Amino acid sequence: MSYYIELQMQLIQSGTWILIATAAATALALAPAFSTAFGQGYAVGKAVESIARQPEAQGGISSALLLGLTLAETGGIYGLMVALLLIFVNPFFNAFLSFISHIGVY
């Protein structure tokens, strides 16, 4: 009987490690979103500074800024998409749940 209790504890602990690994991967996947925000803030600040120095070049600076912000935002969107996939569509955790339900632990 103690063997089954030990097996259950091992399975619960391995499930905990799956959740910890998922949380760590999600945090790493969200890193581009935060770095994108800082980069965009820096770019907008420099663009405003440039327009303040040369008001006649406002059109060119604004169009280059919008293009750059659009390209920078795609990295943040991809990071957010990966993080959401890791949270809600984690195949490892579903496989773990089906395994422990198959052997009668859960």
Domain range holding 30? 2-102
> Domain tally for the chain?
1
Residue of 2, 17, 4 whose CA lies nearest to 104: 4
The pLDDT profile of the chain, 106 residues, written as one tens digit per residue, is 576 667 666 666 666 777 777 778 888 888 887 888 898 999 999 999 999 999 999 999 999 999 999 888 888 888 888 888 877 887 676 666 676 677 665 5
Structure confidence at residue 54 (pLDDT): 93
Q: What is the pLDDT of residue 42?
A: 93
Instruction: Tell me the whole-structure pTM to 2 decimals.
Output: 0.59
* Residue 21 CB-density burial (10 A; 0-12 exposed, 13-18 middle, 19+ buried): middle
CATH (domain of 76)? 1.20.20.10
